[in-house]
Amino acid sequence: MYRALLYKEWLKTRRVFYAAIIISVIMAVYAILNMNSVIETFGVGSLWLNMIQKDVSMVSILTYLPLITGLAMGIAQMTPEMSHKRLKLTLHLPYPTNKLVLLMLATGLLQLLVIFAVQLLIIVIYDAQIIPAHLVSRVVLTTLPWYVAGFCAYMFAAAVCLEGTWFMRIIISLLGCGVLLILFKRDDAMAAYNSMLILFPVLFIIPTILSLGSIYRFKEGLQD
């Protein structure tokens, strides 16, 4: 049954996964070409100067891509559960409800992790050849909130799709928007969220609880 459940989730998300990983690679290569263009035009010293003195990460073109990817993954995975009434059948399987929901969320998060890791790895491999290690780490820390936003967008999208009442959908949507606004409040500075790294796990816990609550209300028959 475990494999069957994983395969069911994969069938719903595979198109988004393939499209997202292709787009992510293309955008990563585009960011690299932009950096390479600066080096060819002004020299590598100019690139270092922009990153150190002007606090420019040179990968800002990737800022909102993880967010869009997370939203697309959540909608693709969870919308069929509600629109096609699959969730009611799924919840009748001989499998603990909470574990079932966590398994569904884990498959989506794992796919996002692969997409984001591939994109970041491309950037890191290129940067490691032209800039010092401490600047590479700053680029990684700069992109981290964007990827966290992608995971959070997925989790909140899943919670909204699984919710059966419009009132709670609005509440969850507003809460999700608030969290995402926090993550993009300082998107213009390198490694601007270092002091908030410890809070990032909390941003996953909140929508996970909301998703489980949505399932509970669905089982109780609270639907519009």
> What DSSP string runs through 186-204?
TTTSTTTTGGGGGGHHHHH
Instruction: With respect to residue 79, please indicate whether it lies within any of the assigned structural domains.
Output: yes
Q: Domain span at residue 166?
A: 2-219
> 20-69, pLDDT tens digit by residue?
999 999 999 999 998 888 888 888 877 777 777 667 778 889 999 999 99
What residue type is assigned to position 218 of the chain? F
Work out the pLDDT band at 91, boundaries 50, 70, 90: low
CA distance 4 to 221: 27
CA distance 170 to 175: 9
pTM for the whole thing? 0.88
d(CA 193, CA 128): 22
pLDDT at 223: 67
Q: Looking at the domain assignment, is residue 37 inside a domain?
A: yes
What is the spatial distance between Cα 65 and Cα 133, in angstroms, rounded to a whole number?
A: 25
Q: Is residue 134 part of a domain?
A: yes
Tell me what pLDDT residue 215 has. 76
If one counts the domains in the chain, the total is 1
What single letter denotes the amino acid at residue 80? P
Tell me what pLDDT residue 224 has: 61
CA distance 121 to 140: 10
Inside any domain, residue 224? no
For 84, residues 6+ apart whose C-beta sits below 8 A from its C-beta are: none
Question: How far is it, in rounded angstroms, from Cα 118 to Cα 104?
Answer: 22
Rounded CA gap, 38 and 127, in Å? 13
| Average pLDDT value over all residues in the chain | 83
Q: What is the dihedral of CA 148, 101, 115, 19, to 10 degrees?
A: -120
For the chain, what's the residue count?
224
**Cβ atoms of 73 and 20 closer than 8 Å:** yes
Residue range 140-177, pLDDT digits in tens: 888 888 999 999 999 999 888 888 788 888 999 999 99
Domain membership flag for residue 194 = yes
Give how far the C-alpha of residue 189 lies from the chain's centroid of Cα atoms, to the nearest Å.
20
Q: Which pair of tokens denotes residue 45? A: 């010293």
- DSSP class of residue 224 equals -
- List Cβ neighbours of 31 (8 Å cut-off, separation of 6 or more): 58, 59, 61, 62, 123
Whether 155 maps to a domain, the answer reads yes
Asked if 57 and 121 count as a contact pair (C-beta separation under 8 A), the reply is no
Q: How far apart are CA 55 and CA 190, in angstroms?
A: 6
In a domain, 197, yes or no: yes
